[in-house]
Chains A and B, each alone.
Chain A
């Protein structure tokens, strides 16, 4: 069974159309990254899947159920990291995890959750005394505490330092390896590249590109060749890097000049992203 299946999803706020005909299939056990510029509708999509928001039309199945009508049985099987939300500032880290663990029938071990999100040494600290990134780790911990099959994470690593981010990646991969499905959004393209099994770019209300990170980059074809000539940066894009490079270097050798800063590389996911979302602006 697929973890998530979305067909023809439409959503408007008043006259502002945000989603028009979004299709999305997420397999069980994969890490899927949903990308898109600010205001593309990532949070809207995720919150429709979580059951927070109504849709205008379209079919939505989350773990085989329609989130718009599902009850607490579905919520017991999913974990949610909202883009922003608070916890009780008066409680300690371990108290708040225990409180939320009590809402589930088969919660994950609290010590394991503390270790997974790297808060073991802050376990007795009151939430109000934690840093922003540490609070975000509680959000992650609360999404894991119910031992969910499917976890939604809306920008889970925003505000993390580089080390914490790498730790979070390990945590998320570990959850996948334990069998969970993960749908996350992020503005860090590097993160999407490193972490996701597949990703999609949401643009103008539909999925504009989808695939594995490597597959998308390979399909985008062009290789970038850059060098400096008379102090000016030259950028070339080509599908035939071997031939172009050969011609370029042959010419340079004949002219007896050095190609300063010569570089041949595939474009990054970030450049691919900018190509997709900047296509018709």
Chain B
């Protein structure tokens, strides 16, 4: 019964995602578009001792996960909460966690497709390297998506209105993608920004992803990055359990 309900809800969330132009563009297409543009610009250059396109591939996969699991999920949840949709769902026998679980499941599907497209594009068009261990790479994607989804759910508790949601959410994760080094080398960055980068979850995810893609390493080679990323996920989960709301602010 629960499994059937989950699949029923997952199918609906997938349909809703691909029918939502903004979500499809910003969280699915944008990383692919940037990969194509920047791959053409600096795909052949050398960044931190690796081929530009390989460096960029890891960066755009990380950017995509932050955009969909954190940004897209948080904005969607806030819009649904403020319009009273979450409240309506809570009035049905559908367990609310199945609704949220299906949204996260849907993000995972989108991420999987997006990553597959990016791997093929980067490899064929820009001669980028591919991950050495598919299993380890899959674990990294999974942990990264889960951690950012938990953080995305947590942030919704601090966003008051639908109007401000995308501004606030973008203001949080877009700068992170630069500081964490999704787009270019952070070696020339001021030291205080580098210190901040050491804390940010995307930095740790990018090290895991690039470890896989650039040097064929696995999660075993980067235990601290994996632990740091998981810790961010736990922090997100704790905050989400405390701050998450089902109803609009003013009822």
Contacts and interface: CB of A to CB of B under 8 A. Distances in A.
Interface of A: 50-52, 72-73, 75-76, 78, 80, 82, 84-88, 90-91, 95, 99-100, 102-105, 142, 146
A76 B93 CA distance: 5
B247 A52 contact: yes
Interface stretch (B12-20, B27-35, B137-145): B12-20
Which of B85, B92, B94 has the most chain A CB atoms inside 10 A of its CB?
B92
B91 A52 contact: yes
Contact of A103 (B5, B80, B247): B5
Contact of A75 (B8, B15, B83, B93): B93
30 contacts: A51-B91, A52-B87, A52-B91, A52-B247, A72-B94, A72-B95, A73-B93, A75-B92, A76-B93, A80-B91, A82-B88, A84-B84, A85-B83, A85-B85, A86-B80, A86-B84, A86-B88, A87-B85, A88-B16, A90-B16, A91-B15, A91-B19, A99-B12, A103-B8, A103-B93, A103-B94, A104-B93, A105-B93, A142-B88, A146-B92
A74 to B, nearest CB: 9
Interface in B1-44: 5, 8-9, 12, 15-16, 19-20
Nearest to B83: A86
B90 interface: yes
A80 B94 CA distance: 14
A91 B84 contact: no
A86 B93 CA distance: 18
A51 B247 CA distance: 13
A94 to B, nearest CB: 13
Contacts of B5: 102-103
Main secondary structure of the interface of B (DSSP, over half): helix
Contacts of A73: 93
Contact of A88 (B85, B91, B92): B85
Which of A103, A104, A142 has the most chain B CB atoms inside 10 A of its CB?
A103
B88 A87 contact: yes
B93 A50 contact: no
Query: Which 10 pairs, one residue from A and one from B, show the smallest C-beta to C-beta distance?
Result: A85-B84, A86-B83, A72-B93, A76-B93, A90-B19, A103-B94, A80-B91, A102-B8, A103-B92, A85-B88
Interface of B: 5, 8-9, 12, 15-16, 19-20, 80, 83-85, 87-88, 90-95, 247
A50 B246 CA distance: 15
Contacts of A88: 16, 85
Which of A87, A90, A105 has the most chain B CB atoms inside 10 A of its CB?
A90
Nearest to B94: A103
Contacts of A90: 15-16, 19-20
Contacts, number: 62
Contacts of B93: 72-73, 75-76, 103-105, 146
A83 to B, nearest CB: 9
A82 B84 contact: yes
A76 B12 CA distance: 20
A52 B90 contact: yes
Contacts of A75: 91-93
A76 B95 CA distance: 11
Contacts of B88: 80, 82, 85-87, 142
Contacts of B90: 52
A142 B93 CA distance: 13
A90 B13 CA distance: 11
Contacts of A105: 93
B87 A85 contact: yes
Which of A80, A86, A95 has the most chain B CB atoms inside 10 A of its CB?
A86
Contacts of B85: 85-88
Contacts of B20: 90
Contacts of A87: 85, 88
A82 B91 contact: yes
Contacts of A95: 15
A80 B8 CA distance: 21
Contacts of A102: 5, 8-9
Contacts of A85: 83-85, 87-88
Nearest to A104: B93
A112 B36 CA distance: 51
A88 B247 CA distance: 16
B92 A100 contact: yes
Which of A51, A72, A78, A102 has the most chain B CB atoms inside 10 A of its CB?
A102
Contacts of A84: 84
Nearest to B98: A103
Nearest to A88: B16
B82 to A, nearest CB: 9
Nearest to A87: B85
B5 to A, nearest CB: 7
